[in-house]
Chain A
Amino acid sequence: MSDTSPEMRSVVIERDLTHPPGRIWRALTQPHLMAEWLMQTDFEPVLGRSFSFQAEWGAVNGQVTEIEPERRLAYSWGDGVLDTVVTWTITPTSDGARLRMEQTGFRKDQPRYLMGATAGWPRFFDNLEQLLAREPA
């Protein structure tokens, strides 16, 4: 049977901010500030600490995997379907700091549905990426 391990993908967003690293770090790590721009949370900036984010549509669970105050913060980000890691990097600039968010991981349900049990389906899936590459955006 074909390999069913899901494919890793990444989302990267980077912005130059006119704010100092310390202020950005507070917004990334203090729950009452995180609730203003991200989600309600019981987050604590402690290595290994588990926490969750709550939204109307559901919850995201996480665990802090890296922490370097005012420089780098990483935590797992999973909602039952996505299995990812979110990494924040703060780099000082002349007017403030560059903030980078990288989310890397995969969808857990992908192989089960897209590599089905019938004879025809895996063959079709082999062609699928080619077909999608031909579609206009």
Chain B
Amino acid sequence: MSDAPDLIFRSLADPTRRSLFERLCREGELTVGALTAQAGVSQPAVSKHLAQLKQAGLVQDRQAGRQTHYRAEPGALVPLIDWTAQQTAFWRARFDALEDLLGRIDQ
């Protein structure tokens, strides 16, 4: 039904990306330099991982002068844990359609 969960799963399957995401969740906003300091990989590699996390909706960035600051968006994980939001929207639309039909059915 949606490709977003697959993109998120693929994104978090990589251990370096997962640890970058986890660190941003724990520590709040960090620059690429600060993230690289403990990442165990080069800065270009960190930037590439962050770009992928951003594409999956898991992190957001903002420019402040020459620095790029990243922050986590853990809310992106909610649909994975909680299928109920999507199904609630589905059933609300079905109820609307049902009421419409009932109004059109003769006795």
Q: Chain A interface (Cβ within 8 Å of chain B)?
A: 9-11, 13, 15, 17, 19, 23-24, 26-27, 33, 36-38, 57-58, 79, 81-82, 99, 101, 103, 106-107, 110, 113-114, 116, 118, 120-121, 124, 127-128, 131-132, 135
A107 nearest in chain B by CB position: B83
Q: Which B residues, 80 to 99, have Cβ-Cβ distances below 8 Å to chain A?
A: 80-84, 87-88, 91-92, 94-95, 97-99
A110 touching B87 by the CB < 8 A rule? no
| A interface majority secondary structure | mixed
Contacts A23-B107, A58-B1, A128-B77; is A37 near B94 (CB within 8 Å)?
Answer: yes
Chain A's nearest CB lies how many Å from the CB of B85?
9
B83 touching A37 by the CB < 8 A rule? no
We find that the number of chain B residues with CB closer than 8 angstroms to chain A is 32
A121 nearest in chain B by CB position: B18
A26, B84: Cα distance in complex, Å: 27
A15 touching B99 by the CB < 8 A rule? yes
Chain B's nearest CB lies how many Å from the CB of A41?
13
**Residues of the A chain whose Cβ atoms lie less than 8 Å from the Cβ of B107:** 23
B15, CB-defined interface residue at 8 Å: yes
A79 nearest in chain B by CB position: B1
Contact string against A for B residues 1-36, beta-carbon threshold 8 Å, 1 for contact and 0 otherwise: 100000001000101001100100110000000000
